[in-house]
Structure 1
Amino acid sequence: MFIVGIIKFGERTWVLRSASSEHFRESMLPHPDPGPNYARYMEEYSSKKAEGFKVELGPPIEAPKAENNSNDARGILDDSIQNAVILNKAYSFFEIFKRLCADLILSFHNIEKSQTFFQNRNSEQAFKVIEIELGFMYDVFYTRAVLVHSRLGGILRCISLSLTVSVFLAFLFKEKHAYTGEDVAITYVLLVGAIILELYAVVMLLSSDWTTLQLNKHKNGVLKLFHTAVSSIPLVKNNRWSNKLGQYNLITFCLKNRPAKCIFVEKDLFINKLLEKYRYQDSEDVSEELKNLIFTQLKEKSKSASNFDACKQLCARRGAQVLRDAKCLVRLGWTILGVEFEQSILLWHIATDLCYNFDVKRNSNVVPNQNCKNSKQLSNYMLYLLVMCPFMLPNGIGQIRFQDTCAEAEDFFTERKSITDEEKACTMLLKVSTDISPSEVKGDRSKSVLFDACRLAKALQSMEVEGHWGTNEKKWELVSQVWVEMLSYAANRCRWSDHAQQLRRGGELLTHVWLLMAHLGLTEQFQISEGHKRAKLVVQ
């Protein structure tokens, strides 16, 4: 058992060292490449020129590019084969794109290959690849998977299990008259517990994506059958991502309609404020329609990412381009241009809520279209990030704006006793006249954007009524596209270390969007390279 303990702590120490940022970065640095021998080339050039020859530089000889098998998942009907292809593709991309986690840059050819692959996929396949890829990243940073799935790891696992079982058998047949019954019982419990943990580790090992990857390569029928049987056990299913989307609604939070979960906590204590914040946090499943909306819009952007400058401009967009394309930038641009990002989030969140209530909740017979649902979901998700995960958004005064806006909303609801639910709250807010800008009346001491958001909601509604859009479907299409641009902007501005922290908590949609953008070429972490070229000397 002492040897087993040494193995366990040795594994943990080795994994911690490998996952450290310094060692992880060093492990991905390429071998030093001095390039073609410039001194020898120039010696040959000088000697030929001295002999009287006319020497010129010929066209460069470029190394052949690797073949792109982007169609390897097309036309395959067998789900098991298609899943195997997706898994293999996800691992090959993981080996390349894990450089992003060490703040290294990718080559233009890496981006081009990935771009081609994802341009030929649908949203379900694309997000599946990203999900598996992030699962590999989680295993590298937070588990012992890299060691356990190696040849050395397999040997150590066999030694550990066999030694634990042999100790149990030795104790089972040993004379135990010299020991008390309590000591014997405790020893049995500890040994049986150790064996169960070892067997559970083996089962988890066999059901992981790493094992599936190895089985796809070696085609071992017996192991594959055993792996399929183990993977079908509900307790050991590999749920790579929670597929949950955090939700937070400002008006619901300000109405304070949800009862406190702990009646023993006084209202004036700090812990009550903390519990209250978590009390209004919800979650929903990420729908396939929402994934399709995000992927379609990002894929369309990707077609314009032809060079580094274009990528930089695409990554900097946070809604203005959508308004420009819809020819309403003059009227609505004040909500995005020249204001901080968290201010735009609050403005569009409240406006989305007001429009949703006006179009859907007041008309119970109206079924909300898909863009309406997606807009509502993304709106609540972006506010969830602002309130619960502000470190994932660009630096700003989001917390101050949120609390000032909530304070103004609570005062407004308190003065009007008839407001008891969200529907009445939205109706009363839309009735407030906003002909004069709130900043002209209140100044800029308070950072509240409550009635500025009412102005935005009224502008959206009036554009629909005035005939700028034929139906509210056009309006919700615009709103959903603005939210996707804000989501992609936030994803690209979030540091990798913050994305990694969220992997430990089940993962965030923002992280998936960040990696998907990188695969589609919407990232600034790459260099434009002409490839491995060598100049040819032409002697005449």
Structure 2
Amino acid sequence: MLFMEVVQFFHVIFSDWAKVKWLCYYVEKPLWQNNKCMEVIIRVICHRKLLKPWNRKLAQYSLLESFSHNPSVLLYNRWTSPYIDKPRNGLKLSAHVTLPMEVKKAIIHSLKTNEQRLTNGVASLQRNGVENELSWACRLETQTHVIMVWHIATSLCELNLSSQEIVTGEQVNQQRESEDFIVATTMSKYCAYLVAFAPRLLPDHPYITEFIFDHVVVEARKKLKRCEKSICQKLFTLCKDDRKKRISKKMLTLDQEDDKGIEEIIERGAVLAKDLLKKIEDNGLRWKILAELWAEMMLFVAPSDDETAHAEHLAMGGEFVTHLWALLSHAGILKRDSAQDV
């Protein structure tokens, strides 16, 4: 108990709030400003970090790359189960990326354009004149459905860009370096990461989000049989590229099995990708539409009723969506557009 009390004491003394408090006292009290001892104390406290702050890194997750991932049997088995919780299937993070300046610009531009109205992408589709063709994908059962369908479609557009044979390599590189491409792919994979790893930070109930994600993984494994990673594909880049081509080809050839309508998320994502590729032939315009939609969707999911979840993440450095939540809260934007709150 004494040890825990000492740890808590140092945790409070060197916290960010304590640093702010010490600096406020220093400014308010002239006697402290002429006291060498107090200056040394404040300098020591402000230069020490017990917790790692947010390093402006965005976690990334790609369903089409990780759906076949299974937890390691060596690490997660009946011997370790009493001590370590086994992760769900399909949970494998992609490499983190540094928060791009293009993403910050897109978020601020979307916030200014829509003022205090938060929509899950419909407003951006209206501005680009494709509401009639694509808005159906923003009006699904839950916000988790919306995120995963648009994530799958964005991933397929990215795979299609990589496998284009008509476009020269230089032109493909120009598309990949464009601001819209960076914003769309980064935000798509970040929102998918929130669904897979941080469901409490999203509008839907976390149990619903987890259930939908697990169901999507099962759907992907069913629809993309023989596209799992082999040992060869894990080792060689050429095999990885071949796997991506097979996934893209199989996804874009998924057909509706019955007349009742497509219900599976994986198929809805494929249909949306077909609409994007066929109805919007201009690559630049397609990525502009996706970038603006993901910027709006990022702002749409930021408001939250679960302040505890955000507080817990802030204590560990924070998430990008947590900082957006704080930004919107200070701006007085606490509610979403009721018409779009799926």
Distance change in 2, residues 1:212/1:407 (3 Å)? same
204 and 517 in structure 1: CA distance in 2 versus 1, 3 angstrom threshold: closer
Distance in 2, Cα, partners of 1:268 & 1:371: 48
Contact 2:67–2:217 (Cα < 8 Å) also in 1 = yes
Do structure 1's residue 294 and structure 2's residue 107 form an aligned pair? yes
* Residue 340 (structure 2) aligns with: none
Structure 1 residue 392, shift from structure 2 partner: 2.0
1:73: which partner in 2? none
Q: 1:486 Cα deviation (Å)?
A: 1.6
1:414 is paired with a residue whose SS is coil
Which runs of structure 2 are paired with 1:101-140 in the superposition (5 Å)?
none
CA 414–385 in structure 1, closer or farther in 2 if over 3 Å, else same? same
Please, which of 54, 60, 65 is the counterpart of residue 252 of structure 1? Answer: 65
Identify which of 270, 274, 283 aligns with 1:458: 274
Question: What secondary structure, in the 3-state scheme, does the structure 1 residue paired with 2:120 have?
Answer: coil
**Is the contact between residue 60 and residue 97 of structure 2 (CA under 8 Å) also seen in structure 1?**
yes
Alignment of 1:340 with 2:142, yes or no, is yes
1:393 maps to which of 197, 202, 227: 202
Please state how far the C-alpha of 1:243 moved relative to its aligned partner: 2.6
335-344 or 357-366, which moves further after superposition?
357-366
Q: Which of 317, 320, 323 pairs up with 2:125?
A: 323
Partner of 2:339: none
Indicate how the Cα distance of structure 1 residues 427 and 456 shifts in structure 2: closer, same or farther if over 3 A, else same. farther
Give the Cα–Cα distance (whole angstroms) in 2 for the partners of residues 330 and 301 of structure 1.
20
- CA drift at 1:296: 2.5
User: In the aligned structure 2, how far is the partner of 1:203 from the partner of 1:418?
Assistant: 46
Relative to structure 1, is the Cα distance of residues 221 and 247 closer, same or farther in structure 2, using a 3 angstrom cutoff? Answer: farther
Shift of the alpha carbon at 1:228? 8.0
2:151 aligned to which of 342, 345, 349:
349
What is the Cα deviation at residue 329 of structure 1? 0.8
1:422 is displaced (CA, Å) by 5.7
Residue pair 1:252, 1:422 contacting (<8 A) in 2 also: no
The aligned runs of 1:32-111 (5 Å cut-off) are none
1:483 aligns with 2:294: yes
Q: Distance in 2 between matches of 1:455 and 1:272?
A: 36
Contact 2:13 2:45 (C-alpha < 8 Å) held by counterparts: no
Question: Which whole-Å deviations, capped at 9, do the CAs of 1:492-517 have from their partners, x for residues lacking one?
Answer: 14422222232233212112111212
1:520 aligns with 2:338: no
Question: Aligned equivalents of 2:121 and 2:16: distance in 1?
Answer: 45
Aligned in 2, Cα 1:353/1:236: closer, same or farther, shift over 3 Å?
Answer: same
TM-score (norm 1): 0.49
Q: Which residue of structure 1 lines up, in the alignment, with residue 249 of structure 2?
A: 431
Distance in 2, Cα, partners of 1:495 & 1:395: 11
Q: CA contact under 8 A between 2:120 and 2:296: conserved in structure 1?
A: yes
**Aligned partners of 1:381 and 1:426: how far apart in 2?**
20
What corresponds to 2:311 in structure 1? 500
Quick one: which amino acid aligns to residue 474 of structure 1? Answer: L
Q: Distance in 2 between matches of 1:225 and 1:509?
A: 34
Q: Deviations over 1:221-242 (max 9, x none)?
A: 6669647854785x54885434
> Are 2:74 and 1:263 equivalent residues in the alignment?
yes
Per-residue CA shift, 1:364-384, capped at 9, x if unaligned?
541411221222121111111
* Superposition pairs of residues 305-320 of structure 1, within 5 angstroms: 305=116, 314-315=117-118, 317-320=119-122
Contact persistence 1:247–1:381 (CA under 8 A): yes
Structure 1 gaps of 5+ residues are 13-142, 145-196, 306-313, 526-540
In 2, are the aligned partners of 1:244 and 1:285 still within 8 Å (CA)? yes
For residue 283 of structure 1, give the secondary structure of its aligned residue in structure 2: strand
Q: Does the CA contact (< 8 Å) of 1:230 and 1:236 recur in 2?
A: no
Q: Which moved more, 1:235-244 or 1:514-523?
A: 235-244
**Deviation sequence 1:77-131 (CA, Å, 0-9, x none):** xxxxxxxxxxxxxxxxxxxxxxxxxxxxxxxxxxxxxxxxxxxxxxxxxxxxxxx
Secondary structure, in 3 states, of the residue corresponding to 2:280? helix
Identify the match of residue 161 of structure 2 among 338, 341, 359: 359
Counterpart secondary structure, 2:225: helix
- Displacement of 1:326 after TM fit? 0.8
Q: Larger radius of gyration, structure 1 or 2?
A: 1
Q: Is the 8 A contact 2:60 2:190 kept in 1?
A: yes
Work out whether residues 202 and 304 of structure 2, in 8 Å CA contact, stay in contact via their aligned partners in 1.
Answer: yes
Aligned counterparts of 2:244 and 2:325: Cα–Cα separation in 1: 34
Q: 2:187 aligns with which of 378, 382, 385?
A: 378
**Does the 8 Å contact 2:184/2:290 carry over to 1?**
yes
CA distance in 1: counterparts of 2:333 and 2:95, whole angstroms: 30
The amino acid of 2:266's aligned partner reads L
Distance in 1 (CA, whole Å) between partners of 2:55 and 2:258 is: 46
SS of 2:204 mapped into structure 1: coil
Unaligned runs of 5+ in 2: 234-238, 337-342
* Distance in 1 between residues matched to 2:221 and 2:247, nearest whole Å: 12
Distance 2:224 2:195 in 1: 23
Query: Counterpart amino acid of 1:398?
Result: T
Question: Are the counterparts in 2 of residues 281 and 384 from structure 1 also a CA contact under 8 Å?
Answer: no
- Tell me the CA shift for residue 405 of structure 1: 2.4
Q: Which amino acid aligns with 1:346?
A: M
Whole-Å separation in 2 of the counterparts to 1:491 and 1:246: 16
CA–CA distance in structure 2, aligned partners of residues 517 and 212 of structure 1: 27
In structure 2, C-alpha distance between the alignment counterparts of 1:226 and 1:210, rounded to whole Å: 16
Q: Is the 8 A contact 1:352 1:457 kept in 2?
A: yes
**Alpha carbons 2:14, 2:46 under 8 Å: kept:** no
**Rounded Cα–Cα distance in structure 2 between residues aligned with 1:517 and 1:461:** 34
Residue by residue, what CA displacement relative to the aligned partner does 1:212-265 show, whole Å, maximum 9, x if unpaired? 3333444626669647854785x5488543433222211121243x893x6254
RMSD in angstroms over aligned alpha carbons? 4.1
